[in-house]
Amino acid sequence: MSYLLAYITASDLNEAEKIGQALVQNKLVACVNIFSGMQSMYMWKGSLEKSQETVIIAKTTEKLRDRVLEKVQNIHSYECPCIIFIPVMGGNPDFLQWITHETGS
């Protein structure tokens, strides 16, 4: 079984909670961690932008990657949301098994 962390940014805590709840309730991820108050700086359409954002880190499996991506894109308010996947190279076997169990993978 291959595991992933999904790194997602959201406009604020409310949007992050909405996304996280949808992912967990639909068993696309085992859990999410939400960090509010992140300062972001990026180029968008030729201009330097600065904004406060909220980060979501979700634990899931490779098998569910495309479904997670689709669900977040359908909910997210951004035109081009940050949704990236980071491979998990190992970890507590009991925790990884819990991810498998909670996602039905």
pLDDT tens digits along 38-95: 999 999 999 999 999 999 999 999 999 999 999 999 999 999 999 999 999 999 999 9
The pLDDT score that the predictor gives to residue 29 is: 98
CATH of domain 3-103: 3.30.70.120
The residue-averaged pLDDT of 15-23 equals: 98
Q: What is the pTM of this model?
A: 0.95
| Domain locations in the chain as residue ranges | 3-103
Phi (first) and psi of residue 54, to 5 degrees: -120, 135
Note whether 13 and 34 are within 8 A (CB): yes
| pLDDT of 99 over the 90 cut | yes
Judged against a pLDDT cut of 90, whether residue 105 lies above it is answered with no
Query: What is the token pair recorded at 58?
Result: 């979700």
Confidence (pLDDT) at 54: 98
